[in-house]
Each structure stands twice: as C-alpha cells, then as structure tokens.
Structure 1
Amino acid sequence: MAGISLAIDIVPCLPLFYNKGIFLPFYIKLKVGINMARKKENKNKKGLVEVKREIGVDYMGGPIRKSFYGKTLKEADEKYLEYMKKNGAIQIDDRMTLERWADVWLETYKEGTVSDTTYKATYVWAVNKLKTRFGGRRMSSIRTIELQRFFKEQSAGSASSVDKIKMVTRAIFKTAFHNEVIPKNPMEDVQIPKGIEAEEKRAYNANEYRKVLNFAKEDPDGVGPFIILKTGLRRGELMALKWSDIDFLHMAVSVNQAARIQDGRCIAGPPKSKKSMRSIPVDKELIQFLSDIGRVRESIYVMGHFRDKKRPKNPDTWKQRHYDKFMERLIEKYPEIPELTPHELRHTFGSILYTSGVDIYRVSKILGHSSVDITTKIYVHTTVEDLRNGIPYENLP
C-alpha cells in the first residue's frame, strides 16, 4: 500500500557558526517521500514472467499481440526484441481466411479494372473454385502440398480453366505475402499441371462461308453475322461499333470500344486490351452493304438499341433475340451447314484470311490478338485438305 515516509539525515560539513559563536560541524536534512507499492511480476505456474507485446497490425489496422516469457521481466522483453529482429517486424494476421482475403483482393485489384464479363467469367469464377476448397481456412495454414493436390484435381478440366485458376491463385497468394498477411508464399513451389486441350473450334469452309454471307445479306437479322464474317469483330465490339467508326472513303473499320454490362445497363467502354484497338481494312462488298443499311438507320451505333438511339445494344440480348433466330432460318434453308456461335464466325473469318494466303502476323493484327502465338494456336484452323495441298507428293521419292 502507499504511505508517507519521513527521514532525517545528519550530513557532515564544514563548521557553521550559529547563535553567538556556537558552531555545528553538521546540518540536518529532512526527506519526505511517498512510498508506492512495488508492482509484482506476473508469473505463471512454471515461474516464468509473461509480457504481451504488439508485433504488428492486421489488415483492418487492429493490433496483433503475442506473449513472451522469461525468468524475469527483462528476459521476457529481450525475447520480444529478439523475435522482432528475427522476423523483421513482419505483421502476420493468423485470423485472415482465404475467403476474406480473396474478397479483399477482388475488390482492391480487379473490380473496375476489367469488363464485367471478364470480371465474373474469369476472376470471380476462379475465386469461387478456391473458396470451395479452402474458403474457411486461415491463409497462413495453407501449405504447398495442399495447393499441389488442388491443381492436380483441376487438371481434369480444360487447359484454359487451369490457366485461369493458376493466374488468380498466384496473384492472391503473392499479394497476401507482399501485404504481410502470410510469412511465406506457398504457391512459389507449386508445379502447375496442364489441363485437357480444348477441341478445335469449328469454322465454315470457303463454300459454306459464301452461302452464309449471301443468306445474311437478305435476312432481317443478318446484319450482325455479315459484319462479323467480314471483319472478325468480337460480339461486344460489334455492339459498340458506331457509324463514325466506318471510313467509307478508305474502306476501313476502326475498333475503339466494346459493349459491356455495368450496373445492369449496357454501356460502351474500352475494348478487351490495348491491342484490341485497331483499324481493319474491309472490301467493297461490306462497304456497299453498310452504305445500303445506313440510309435507314437513325442510331449512332450500327447495331443500335431500338429505343435509345445513343446506347449500344446488349450483346446477350442481341444473340437471343436476333442471332439465334438468324441461325434457325439459316439451318432451315441449308441443313448441311453447321450452326456456329458468334465467336465461331470470328474464327471463320481468321481461317478464311489465313487459308487465302494472308500471313499470320496480319491475321493477328486484324483480329486484335495480344500475340501471334494466340492466333496460331487457337484461331487458325487447318484442315486435312489444307495440309495435303501443301505437300508436293509428285516431288517425293
């Protein structure tokens, strides 16, 4: 308990004269003080002193504390300093689950940086795959061998699916490590297996291509298919194509935007990538076709919205209400012609260019691919007959 103490010290000194010649060889010193109760060191059953020290903050800014033990308070504090020095003051949040960090990663690094379609079909889709397996697990508890097993299971899917999951998983754990959520990145040593290669996408041959073009010119819903078969535009690029993007004099089509869904509304925004922005040379047949339909169109968009003339049409709505009906009528007239998707019409255009002698570099530029490898691997479809025509059998021994 606290109390008041009084102490008297007799301090020797040089003689001091006091009261008529009397001298004292000392003086009296009074000391008054307050005695405080001494704080006891908290010891556990093993007789060790425990101290709790802050070693960092979590992702919400809250403190992360850890207990350190020693025979004395000084020893416990020395262990704390040794820990901080050894770990470089790393701020690790053992409570952070993969589900929580994946949501933080999506919101911080991806939301708003890509189109809604890409965001949902690639990033949200891959994150959900991870959540299904590791959702409630703490990030710091996930080991390399567990991720290796996870990717081994995913290899039963397509190669493109495995690539998407790999890209997202690596990014999630890499950013977690750099943001000091985990002490080590378990993805660094994971060996990613290859998935099943997708089947070669279908495309019309030259004869089918001409039949579909002629049919599209006369069909009420044939404008979109005709333009794709003549330019190789993606569906979103077609919906965002403006009349001002068409250079009738120099016979070229400029791709500057792509339609996408944002907050439930279709808008025109940046295309898939920078290389998607391009100028496509076109022929007289397309220029004449666009000139004819342009005389009766009021929208600023070639495939304009039927109500709002200044807004692009929803790509999904266009496919359901117009493209699918076009295909039904086409197959009814030509049962031998396969029913292709809008993206396969784009593949058809690339194939027609390549088999007609256009070099692979130009095909890649016209289609707006990020690299020539993509054009070669995915979009160029070589038939057995094409291969046969390239072999000089008559010159072989």
Structure 2
Amino acid sequence: MINAMTPQHTFCDYYRQWVAMYKEGAVRDVTLSKYHLTCAWLQKLIPLLTLAELNRITYQQLLNDYAQSHERQTTMDFHHQLKGAVLDAVDEGLVDRDPTRKAIIKGKTPRAKKQKYLNQFELHRLLNDLNLGTDISWDWLILLIAKTGLRFSEAIALTPADFEFGRQVVSVSKTWDYKSGGGFVPTKNRSSVRKVQLDWQLVIQFSELTKSLPPDEPIFVNGKVYNSTANDVLERHCRHAEIPVISVHGLRHTHASLLLFAGVSIASVAKRLGHASMNTTQKTYLHIIQELENQDVDLVMRSISSLI
C-alpha cells in the first residue's frame, strides 16, 4: 500500500502503486495503458531513484532524458501523467517540496505532420469514389463518419435501434471496445453521450440499409474489427480519387473543419463532436479558428473603409 511507503522507496515503486490505487478502475483502459507506459519509462530512466532523491534537478533530468527521444507535446503529456503522483507524494511528506515547479519541457523537433483533414472539394471527390452498395460495408462507415463527425469507436457501436429516422438523429450512447476484443463500453466522457442530427439523404440510405438487421446488434461489426482495416480502405479511396491520404479519424477532423469554415459556432461544433468542453475544440482546431479570425479582420476593415 502507498501508506507503507517511506522516502527510501523508489519513485518507480511509488508511481506503480499510485496508478494501481487511483487509476485502475477509474479511467478507461486506453488511458490506463498510457499510465502503464509511463511506469515502463520510469523503470527504464530512473529505476533506482528514491523519493528522498526526487527534487527539481533530478525531476528536470528525468524530463530531459525522456525528451531526447520524444517530441515536446509527448514530453508534456509524460510530465502531466507524473505530476499528480508527485504532488500526492509531497502531500504525504514523502517528498520535501514540489519538484515539478517551473519544470522546463523540451523535446525533439516535430516531424512533418500528415494532412489531417480534407477540404470540401477533396471530400466530394472521396465520397464520389465510394462504392455504396445495398449491404453495409466500410464504405458506408466512411460516409457516415464524414457526415456526422463520429469517433470510429462510436460509429462501429451503432445499432439500428440507435437511429431515430423520424427525427433525423442518431443517438450516441456507447462505444465498441475494438481494441480489447469487442463489446459495448461507455463513451469517452459524459459529453460524448449525445444525439447527432442527420441529413435527409443519410436518413433514407440508412433506413433502407438497417431495416432487416437485428435492432440491438452493431451494424458494422462482423467478427473482429480493426481500425487499420478501415484506414486501409480509406487510403485506397484517397489514392484512387487523387487526394491527400487521411485516416478515419481525419474524417472527423474534416467534418469539424467544414462546419467551422461554414460559420457554425464553436459551441455547436463542440456539442456535435461530443467534446467535454469548447476548450478542446478550440485547441484542436486553433489553426482554422485563427484563419477565420483573419478573414473576419479583412471583412471588418473593408466594412470600415466603405464608411467614408
């Protein structure tokens, strides 16, 4: 137990027990796996460092060593995963002072990023390349995510009963645990439980596709589901349509980007995407928001100049 810890115990042991005490059963499996990965890095970088030896210098050295093989944002995430445990150790009297205070976050130069979203012209080319037959397929999943902005795990968890065709909405109340063998699991956060409006064309298409399917079984799941399979299908379509290759998650970015460029408010986009707060939306799409602000400045200046 953490209560039995002393300053002579290693920080690795303390952190491992801290994760078991406060994170196991309290966070999603995908989040817990990140904490376990952080444990593995501590074991690699500071296996013998005791709590008594944890100070600003040794903590900064840990971050510096981690940053040698990681980009700055990844190092920042590593720091955030450690900070809660470190502050608890300070509160418990196992560490004298907060060693994370004024920590400097470094990191390797980021690699050139792949394009994350398509513009409207490119999206039209992609959708025109889809083979939308009479049976459910990955192509239908691509269309659905492009038009709704659902997460991959949300989309593959949809059942016929989730569609309310009369109201033109689909209810998102669960996800499919494709990473751990399947099965329904809760959404990413409470804000992710939502109803997403559908366009009339999608309503007609999916009412026909799902009419003879079991109402409570996921329509896109037929055996083991892999995100990589959907990405491979999407990549083939992107190459055939001669547009930039994006991932299935990039379809979600595409959806949000087109809404923002169309003038939809950040609050409405955040709600549609199931973000926990507008801050998440603003951070994720900052580059688009800044571009729109520049357009607004141009519009303001043209309006002002016309007053004379």
TM-score, with normalisation over the residues of structure 1? Answer: 0.66
SS in structure 2 of the partner of residue 254 of structure 1: strand
SS in structure 2 of the partner of residue 382 of structure 1: helix
Distance 1:165 1:248 in 2: 44
2:82 aligns to what? 169
Contact 1:239 1:302 in 2 (8 A): yes
| Residue 108 (str. 1) matches residue 21 (str. 2) | yes
| Residue 160 (str. 1) matches residue 73 (str. 2) | yes
Deviation at 1:384, TM superposition (A): 10
Change (3 A) 1:293 1:149: same
Deviation at 1:277, TM superposition (A): 1.5
Deviation at 1:331, TM superposition (A): 3.4
Contact 1:234 1:343 in 2 (8 A): yes
1:268 aligns to what? 184
| Residue 204 (str. 1) matches residue 118 (str. 2) | yes
1:325 aligns to what? 233
| Residue 125 (str. 1) matches residue 125 (str. 2) | no
2:284 aligns to what? 378
Deviation track 1:129-160 (CA, whole Å, cap 9, x = no partner) reads 33322222212222211212333455564343
Contact 1:142 1:186 in 2 (8 A): no
Distance 1:173 1:345 in 2: 38
What is the 5 A alignment of 1:129-148? 129-148=41-60
| Residue 358 (str. 1) matches residue 270 (str. 2) | no
Task: Report the aligned-residue RMSD.
Answer: 3.1
Deviation at 1:179, TM superposition (A): 4.2
Change (3 A) 1:357 1:99: same
Residue identity in the other structure for 1:361: A
SS in structure 2 of the partner of residue 164 of structure 1: helix
Distance 2:80 2:3 in 1: 26
Deviation track 1:268-323 (CA, whole Å, cap 9, x = no partner) reads 1111111111221121122122112113534734444325xxxxx53xx1x33344
Distance 1:98 1:385 in 2: 45
Distance 1:383 1:60 in 2: 48
Distance 1:100 1:261 in 2: 31
Distance 1:385 1:188 in 2: 35
Question: Paired residue for 1:334, among 237, 241, 257?
Answer: 241
State the identity %: 23
Contact 1:170 1:187 in 2 (8 A): no
1:251 aligns to what? 168
Residue identity in the other structure for 1:238: A
Question: Paired residue for 2:206, among 274, 286, 290?
Answer: 290
Contact 2:191 2:276 in 1 (8 A): yes
Distance 1:161 1:232 in 2: 25
Distance 1:370 1:94 in 2: 38
1:213 aligns to what? 127
Of structures 1 and 2, the one with the larger relative CO (CA 8 A, separation 6+) is 2
Change (3 A) 1:363 1:293: same
Structure 1: 5+ residue stretches without partners = 1-57, 62-91, 308-312
Change (3 A) 1:299 1:197: farther
SS in structure 2 of the partner of residue 375 of structure 1: helix
2:249 aligns to what? 343
Contact 1:252 1:279 in 2 (8 A): yes
Contact 1:254 1:280 in 2 (8 A): yes
Deviation at 1:185, TM superposition (A): 4.0
Contact 1:229 1:345 in 2 (8 A): yes
Contact 1:232 1:349 in 2 (8 A): yes
Deviation at 1:367, TM superposition (A): 0.8
What is the 5 A alignment of 1:26-65? 59=2
SS in structure 2 of the partner of residue 266 of structure 1: coil
Deviation track 1:46-89 (CA, whole Å, cap 9, x = no partner) reads xxxxxxxxxxxx8575xxxxxxxxxxxxxxxxxxxxxxxxxxxx
Distance 2:145 2:84 in 1: 35
Residue identity in the other structure for 1:96: H
Deviation at 1:347, TM superposition (A): 0.3
Q: How many residues align?
A: 297
Larger radius of gyration: 1
Change (3 A) 1:113 1:321: same
SS in structure 2 of the partner of residue 96 of structure 1: coil
Residue identity in the other structure for 1:236: S
Q: Choose between structure 1 and 2: higher helix proportion.
A: 2
Distance 1:133 1:290 in 2: 52
Deviation track 1:67-115 (CA, whole Å, cap 9, x = no partner) reads xxxxxxxxxxxxxxxxxxxxxxxxx624411221121112111122222
SS in structure 2 of the partner of residue 103 of structure 1: helix
2:147 aligns to what? 230
SS in structure 2 of the partner of residue 187 of structure 1: coil
Distance 1:333 1:106 in 2: 46
